[in-house]
Copies of this chain bind each other. A is one copy, B any other.
Amino acid sequence: MSQARIMDGTALARRIVEETAEKAADLTARTGTAPCLATVLVGEDPASVTYVRMKQNRCRKAGIESRHVALPAGTTTGELVGTLRELSADPGVHGILLQHPMGPHIDERAAFEAITPEKDVDGVTFASFATMSFGLPGFVSCTPGGIMRLLDEYGVDPAGRRAVVVGRSAILGKPAGMLLLARDATVTYCHSRTADLSAAVREADIVVAAVGRARLIRGQDIKPGAVVVDAGYNAGNVGDVDFDSAVERASLITPVPGGVGPMTIATLLEQTVDAAARQLGV
């Protein structure tokens, strides 16, 4: 069996970011206002600080302003909700990214719901989840949205095919399944309580691994010719799929890193510019 073709997320993300930068420049020229993403961080978790800084850098390179709101670690849910409501109402802010996790003392759901859906460019609100689920216009969760773009780029039409999503988190597994269902795939959700994961994955024409367990899915579980999307990112730059064995069975596969990862930020930037265009009436 020949090796799978690699789905190159780095290259596709680069192209999306370039197109987004052109749209941002055009929007700025036409309206005198640059798109603006507010980034909100509670506390000083080093990984979160790094992520937010990376997103700000990417914004700058794409001609998107970013406004950073750093809140102390002791911020209450009520204070955070107040900040997010202000940003939701602020006409100078077009998109809001609330970096998470935020720590156990914060009611994350209350915080997310304080983001107006019009600025929910990270796709974390109830409204965004529902519009994804019902195939309605709205913002998508960035990683699932990036996965769908990768599938489109490589000519994978989910309609009528069996898709198996391993993982059911609110911002990754669940919306990824809903986006695949909206595109007419027959979708199965697997998770830690699934009795026979291997058997379920073997049915899949499209596998989305989104569970955060290193090399959980092995080549022997991949149906020959299946499309394998690895959204896992575990210690040591390792995905949820055992790449070396899966690449021998799949027809298309994402590497880790360089597959799904770069698509997440690209989707965030693209949605920020889309949000700005809508809010600026262009």
Contact = CB atoms under 8 A, between A and B. Distances in A.
A223 B217 CA distance: 27
Interface stretch (A8-16, A32-40, A184-192, A229-237): A184-192
Contacts of A162: 195, 200
A133 B193 contact: no
Interface secondary structure of A, over-half rule: mixed
A174 interface: yes
Given A133-B129, A174-B133, A191 B186 contact: yes
Nearest to A205: B195
A193 B129 contact: no
Contacts of A136: 109
A70 interface: no
Nearest to A158: B193
Nearest to A168: B181
Q: What 10 A-B pairs are tightest by C-beta distance, nearest first? A: A126-B130, A184-B193, A188-B188, A186-B194, A160-B195, A160-B193, A187-B189, A129-B130, A126-B127, A134-B170
Interface of A: 109, 126-127, 129-131, 133-134, 136, 159-162, 168, 170, 174, 177-178, 181, 184, 186-191, 193-195, 200, 203
